[in-house]
Structure 1
Amino acid sequence: MSQPLPYVPQSSINLGALKASCSSCSMHQLCLPLGLEDNEINRLDQIIGGRRRVAKDERLYKVDQPFRNLYAIRFGHFKTYQVNARGEEQITGFQMAGELLGMDAISSDHHHCDAVALEDSEVCEIPFERLEDLFGHVPTLLRHFHRIMSQEITREQNVMLLLGNMRADQRFAAFLVNLSTRYAARGYSSTSFALRMSREDIGNYLGLTIESVSRLLSRFKKQGCIKVDKREVTIIDPVQLKAIAAGTESCPGGSD
């Protein structure tokens, strides 16, 4: 993956620099694809509260914390999770650069989960009150925000389908295909990437044991779908991997 851009104080950012840096900054979701005018991009830039570094294993926010900001991930990876009545964590998602965190709290003004950095990361803080005010002046931005929220709803529905109706090998294949697609959308390799989350976290998210995740990695490797070197995964046969995810093929070796 490409190296993150160095920190630049906001007072020194001009429009040209903002546009040039958006390929590696999550703010490109909120501006460049929309074809905003320069003055609209400038207004968007002005409401950003600042950049915040989040160390590995540090919480960005926690459940029941009052909602004030959305967080655009500039670089790094996060996981979100809830704690059930038995005190057990249930991971609800993994987020990467170019995605927004905190939308769960918009309806209730309190966060419904914890967000924790999987590695040293950086986010842009977006005060939601100021963003809402900007929506009134830039309707195109509001429409794009609605699209982002719709995508989040679709993602949650897909997770429910993933956990409810798919075999273990389908779940794991779909997980890898999803990561591949998301990395490709950010200009990174779709076939070679590091798993920033632990096998235990992957199992928690997919409803599998850590032993099942390890067996699936071995089976997919033996089948010729992937290569694995510690946390580095290389997809050798993306067509077959997608077929397993779709349920039209299976990966031999048991049901897990």
Structure 2
Amino acid sequence: MTPTTASIQVTCSNCNLRELCMPVGLDCQQMQRIEEVVATRRKIKRGDMLFQNGEDFTSLYAIRTGFFKTCVATEDGRYQVTGFQMAGEIIGLDGIVHNHHTCDAIALENAEVCVMPFNRIEEISREVTALQSHVHKVMSREIVREHSVMLLLGSMRAEERLAAFILNLVQRLHSRGFSSSELILRMTREEIGSYLGLKLETVSRTFSKFVEDGMVEVKQRHIRILNQEALQRLVNNSREGR
């Protein structure tokens, strides 16, 4: 299904997420040029694709509202979740290398993105060097995140993986003004398992253990962290044991 494209022009200077997806400290003239990067907004319905594997790469997307997952098809036909993206983050960087996307990006809830044509980013970056630097930082952050996931999957036990996942998710949400101890999971336990390299049963069992140990309270998709220090100790112990 084709996403709906809004005809209104986005004003980055009035967006409450601008500091997360755009450079900071720009003067009025630079901000005006930056706003020309954003072509349109798109509304993506839950379950629809923003882009898919093999599709021509034309734009990066700043997530304005909603959650996405990226995934790839494995050789045996299964889908492997490779990441979860939320408001204030930029998605679509996978397409830069070969000029086509290498994964599917699927909305986990109704979402809205700002469409930023890559040729326009490159053009304006020549004038506003802060934009080029910011794109490099975003790319570097993705590399660091992928490296962290590799370490997580390669050396952590199930409890440590899930603890790291919960802490990372709540920290990213907190930087966007949400609670530092409560969150609503937009993804299923099966999707979490796919991302963490765990079976669905293992994810459910580990959540139950966290509840029994008094670390979290779970009501369907609502998670409340009761003992953040205990979760952090699980992650730290894994790192110290490597």
Q: Does 1:78 align with 2:68?
A: yes
CA pair 38-8 structure 1, distance change in 2 beyond 3 A: farther
CA pair 235-67 structure 1, distance change in 2 beyond 3 A: same
Unpaired runs of 5+ residues, structure 2, are 1-5
Q: Does 1:235 align with 2:225?
A: yes
1:252 is aligned to none
Q: What secondary structure does 2:119 align onto? A: helix
Distance 1:215 1:9 in 2: 47
TM-superposition CA deviations, 1:48-81 (whole Å, max 9, x none): 1100000000000000100001010000000000
Matches within 5 A, 1:142-161: 142-161=132-151
1:180 is aligned to 170
CA pair 228-79 structure 1, distance change in 2 beyond 3 A: same
Q: What secondary structure does 1:109 align onto? A: coil
1:41 Cα deviation from its structure 2 partner? 1.1
Q: Does 1:213 align with 2:203?
A: yes
Distance 1:153 1:44 in 2: 24
1:9 is aligned to 8
1:34/1:144 contact within 8 Å kept: no
2:20 is aligned to 29
Distance 2:234 2:15 in 1: 35
Distance 2:62 2:74 in 1: 27
Matches within 5 A, 1:129-148: 129-148=119-138
Q: What secondary structure does 1:193 align onto? A: strand
2:47/2:109 contact within 8 Å kept: yes
1:67/1:105 contact within 8 Å kept: yes
Matched pairs, number:
234
1:78/1:115 contact within 8 Å kept: yes
Q: Which one-letter code corresponds to 1:156 in the other structure?
A: E
Overall identity of the aligned pairs, in %: 42
Which of these residues, 24, 31, 44, is aligned with residue 41 of structure 1? 31
TM-score scaled by length of structure 1:
0.87
Q: What secondary structure does 1:34 align onto? A: coil
Compute the RMSD of aligned alpha carbons.
Answer: 1.7
Distance 1:208 1:246 in 2: 20
Q: Which one-letter code corresponds to 1:22 in the other structure?
A: C
Q: Does 1:224 align with 2:214?
A: yes
Q: Does 1:203 align with 2:193?
A: yes
Q: Does 1:128 align with 2:121?
A: no
Distance 2:118 2:236 in 1: 38
1:172/1:245 contact within 8 Å kept: no
Distance 2:19 2:158 in 1: 35
Unpaired runs of 5+ residues, structure 1, are 1-6, 250-256
Q: What secondary structure does 2:69 align onto? A: strand
CA pair 136-89 structure 1, distance change in 2 beyond 3 A: same
Q: Which one-letter code corresponds to 2:9 in the other structure?
A: Q
Distance 2:21 2:162 in 1: 31
Q: What secondary structure does 2:97 align onto? A: coil
Distance 1:30 1:227 in 2: 32
1:103 is aligned to 93
1:248 Cα deviation from its structure 2 partner? 5.9
Distance 2:140 2:82 in 1: 17
Distance 1:8 1:232 in 2: 35
2:156/2:238 contact within 8 Å kept: no
